Amino acid sequence: MDFRLYQPQGRTADHIQGIWSVYVSSEHDEPIDKLLFGDAGSGVLFNFGADVFFADAWHAPGIVLLPVSLKAQTVILPAGTLMAGIRFHPAMGYQCLGKRFEQPVRSEQEPDIHTRLSPLYEQMRHCQGHNGRLRVLYQYAQQHFVHDGDERKQVVRLVQHAHSNPSAPATVGLRQIERHFQTWMGMTPKYYQRLIRVKQALEQLKHSPSTPLADLAADLGFADQAHMTREFRALANITPKHYARRCLHIGAPK
């Protein structure tokens, strides 16, 4: 599998986590399985190759509008996979597309969005290699997905508050915050905090898989190691111990 990721800088980085492109050779023997962890983000997927599997279904070539990621899911990439996409920060998909989706949706089902994205799809379809697709996607994102209005600033402020300091008083009431979260992301602030805490634990184990799990649980605010394990099972479909072992195996010298 050949995967490329570009993480934008500047104003674009306020909206978009990453712009990516992936290719699996048509000569590859077996489909590639990947476990993608929930991040509370959403995105747009442009499929130019083989049907790919995610969200419990196979998806044909075309444009797919992705829902907010609430938990880990398995992705299957067969030989001949060729895709690119945009990954929005939490709540930014709603801001950039004007809608939030409960499940993957073909762009043809959303005529306004389809009209906006179809020329981009056709332009990328004729690009040669990852760099061409990433360049076209980045230029489009800068022109069409970067907004600095008051609503976006409020979105960022409330999401950052829930992320970094949920116990501190916010500038708006709890019920208003909950309404915003349901509108933007289809989840409560509490669920978002759970998801982000598991995501932080996964990132820590990825970089330091030998970290004592009891210490990690305490550092990130889990009640104890057993609580962290339950949260991993519920939201990441893997236990901390299993994930740490997998990271150690990947990082081991060959």
Tell me, yes or no, whether 164 and 240 share the same domain.
Answer: yes
Tell me, yes or no, whether 111 and 171 share the same domain.
Answer: no
Q: Residue 89 in 3-state DSSP?
A: coil
Tell me, yes or no, whether 134 and 195 share the same domain.
Answer: no
Tell me, yes or no, whether 10 and 121 share the same domain.
Answer: yes
Q: Which of 145, 167, 196 is the last residue of a domain?
A: 145
Tell me, yes or no, whether 113 and 32 share the same domain.
Answer: yes
CATH number at residue 168: 1.10.10.60
Number of domains into which the chain is organized:
2
Tens digits of pLDDT across the chain (254 residues): 999 999 998 888 988 999 999 999 999 989 999 999 999 999 999 999 999 999 999 999 999 999 999 999 999 999 999 999 999 999 899 989 999 999 999 999 999 999 999 999 999 999 999 999 999 999 999 999 876 655 656 666 777 666 665 544 455 577 888 888 888 889 998 999 999 999 999 999 999 999 999 999 999 999 999 999 999 999 999 999 999 999 988 764 43
Tell me, yes or no, whether 36 and 115 share the same domain.
Answer: yes
Mention every residue, 6+ apart, whose C-beta is less than 8 A from residue 134.
4, 6, 19, 20, 21, 84
Q: How far apart are CA 8 and CA 88, in angstroms?
A: 11
Tell me, yes or no, whether 173 and 227 share the same domain.
Answer: yes
Other C-beta atoms within 10 Å of 23: how many? Answer: 21
Taking the model in full, what pTM does it have? 0.88
Tell me, yes or no, whether 133 and 80 share the same domain.
Answer: yes
Question: Of the candidates 44, 34, 30, 23, which has an alpha carbon nearest to the alpha carbon of residue 74?
Answer: 34
Q: Where are the alpha helices (DSSP H) in the chain?
A: 92-97, 111-125, 129-144, 150-164, 174-185, 189-207, 213-219, 225-236, 240-251
Tell me, yes or no, whether 118 and 184 share the same domain.
Answer: no
Instruction: State pLDDT tens for residues 41-81.
Output: 999 999 999 999 999 999 999 999 999 999 999 999 999 99
Q: Which of 145, 174, 193 is the last residue of a domain?
A: 145
Tokens of 32: 């590639």
Tell me, yes or no, whether 107 and 6 share the same domain.
Answer: yes
CATH number at residue 89: 2.60.120.10
Tell me, yes or no, whether 125 and 89 share the same domain.
Answer: yes
Q: Which of 112, 145, 178 is the last residue of a domain?
A: 145
pLDDT for res 252: 44
pLDDT for res 151: 61
Structural domain for 158, as ranges: 152-251
Tell me, yes or no, whether 213 and 157 share the same domain.
Answer: yes
